Chain A
Amino acid sequence: MTAVMELSDALAGAVARASGSVLAVHGRRRLPSTGVHWRAGLVVTANHTVEPDREVTLTAPDGRTLSARVAGRDPGLDIAVLRAEVESMPAADVADDGELRVGHLVLALGVGPRASAGIISALDVRGGRQPAGEVLAVDLTLYPGFSGGPLIDVRGRVVGITTSGVSRHLQCAIRAGAVGRLVEQVVRGGRIPRAYLGVGTQAVELPEPLRDRLSLAQRTAVIVLNIRSDGPAGAAGVVIGDLIVAIDGHAITEPEDLVAVLRPDRVGQVVAVSILRGGEPRELRVTVGERPQRA
């Protein structure tokens, strides 16, 4: 047996091993998506494939139909965590994804099993916007219905959840570590909290002289256009017209950066919000709140 034949066998074995914890998720009108039994009773899938206010069912590898309930969503990472009676099937073997490197061989799986192969092409899609690098770029084809399915390494261990929902141009996977943190929040608190400042913002260009005077590398920041007086930012003294340039040292260049920085685990924490008011820099301490539930 040659090395290539061994590799081929290893890949087929990895698919067989991992597909035992892969389910079909029926949460939207079109074709079903894919989900992974992450740990006892909790299934992870791509948030964009589970429509709001919709009954969700799962199809297990043995063909059984199970009902599921959305336990938490993180639209920022495009992850939804579902609760279902899936204890009889094995939970995924989740890998410590700190070992991942650009160029590593990976497979994306769909229900069936179906497989697609390629490599890790980048460890941080958002170019440093998220310090931990929670989104991987993969050089493989995500076929229709693959979103929410596992990205596995050559040993069949889950290193991420694939999704076509976080980038228009790239095929992406949310790192297993980031998914695990969201699942942990569901286990502990029964839900995934959404961080909240209580401001509405828009990107604005920073004038060149101002950037020079304050030695700012970023070309844009966000301007506060409306504010809830009872919200966390309002309570900390942020007013309409303030420019938010950074939070805890992470540059804020557009409103999406706020979503990226204010991860669910920041709820309840105090962050340093760097603002410009009347051209003068200030720093305000803001306690990140939790977004009120939709009525």
Chain B
Amino acid sequence: MSVLSAPEALPPHLAEIADRLRQVTVEIYSTRGCAAGILWAPDLIVTNAHVARGPRVLVRLADDRRVDAHLVTADRRADLAVLRMPRCEVAPAALADSDAVRVGALVVALGHPLGLRRTLTAGVVHAVSPPRPDGRRWIQADLRLAPGNSGGPLADTAGHVIGINTMIAGGLALAIPINDVRRFVASTPATVT
């Protein structure tokens, strides 16, 4: 399915999900351009490690406020990073149980593909790959992503985040399952607030 950037074109409920996801998807600016991040807590952002390069990055929130965020931790192998910023009043992202994801289920991605800010893309779950020897696995989605979607949410039809969009391979969107992200964030001592 193709990129849908106009929420009017979608059924009302999907448009609501898109609005909700827009509130919790931030823009992260670095020397490599604009990518996405997920508002995890009022003062925490989770994104890909390949997005958060450097100790400080500029973040633009959904209400267009620009804030400085600093890197709390990054794991290049897991391709995950946690950023801290000044507290904001926006409710953080709602998370799903990514172990319950089913092949064929409708999913949406929010991000900034090719700099097209806050764009919604829709598709279905293509496959859930079995864990690889290093324990990593992917949610594969039949969904069109582009550079700028990295670090942004892959969500179910309830608007709950099931993964972090990380890579494009063979036309498929690859997302890190949100349960793996939960474990990563929980294992980061500095995030205990």
Contacts and interface: CB of A to CB of B under 8 A. Distances in A.
A5 B157 contact: yes
Contacts of B13: 2-4
Interface string B75-100: 00000000000000000000000000
Given A11-B105, A12-B104, A115 B157 contact: no
Interface string A1-44: 01111011101111110010000000000000000000000000
Interface residues of A, number: 26
Interface stretch (B24-32, B35-43, B46-54, B118-126): B118-126
**Taking each of B126, B156, B172, which has the highest tally of chain A beta carbons within 10 Å of its own beta carbon?**
B126
A98 interface: no
Contacts of B102: 12, 15-16
Interface string B110-150: 00000000000001111100000000000010100000000
A115 B124 contact: yes
Interface in A144-161: 144
B1 A118 contact: yes
Contacts of A140: 142
A15 B103 contact: yes
Contacts of B140: 114
B171 A141 contact: yes
Contact of A4 (B14, B124, B127, B172): B14
Contact of B127 (A5, A8, A113): A113
B106 interface: yes
A123 interface: no
B104 A15 contact: yes
Given A2-B13, A116-B124, A8 B103 contact: no
Given A3-B13, A5-B157, A11 B106 contact: yes
Contact of A141 (B142, B156, B157, B158): B142
B126 A115 contact: yes
Given A4-B14, A11-B104, A12-B105, A143 B124 contact: no
A112 B1 CA distance: 21
B55 interface: no
B11 interface: yes
A8 B106 contact: yes
A166 to B, nearest CB: 21
B189 interface: no
Interface residues of B, number: 23
A286 interface: no
Nearest to A2: B13
Contacts of A2: 13, 157
Contacts of A15: 102-104
Nearest to B101: A12
Given A4-B157, A8-B156, A115 B11 contact: no
Interface string B155-168: 01110000000000
B170 A115 contact: no
B170 A144 contact: yes
Contacts of B156: 5, 8
B11 A8 contact: no
B127 A114 contact: yes
A2 B157 CA distance: 9
A12 B172 CA distance: 18
A107 interface: yes
Q: Which among A15, A107, A114, A140 has the greatest number of chain B C-beta atoms within 10 A? A: A114
A236 interface: no
Contacts of B157: 2, 4-5, 7-8
Interface in A100-125: 107, 112-118
Given A5-B158, A114-B103, A117-B1, 6 more contacts: A2-B13, A3-B11, A9-B105, A12-B104, A112-B127, A143-B170
Interface of B: 1, 11, 13-14, 17, 102-106, 123-127, 140, 142, 156-158, 170-172
The 3 A-B residue pairs with the shortest CB-CB distance, nearest first, are A15-B104, A12-B102, A8-B106
11 contacts: A4-B157, A7-B157, A8-B105, A14-B104, A115-B125, A116-B142, A117-B123, A140-B142, A141-B171, A143-B126, A143-B171
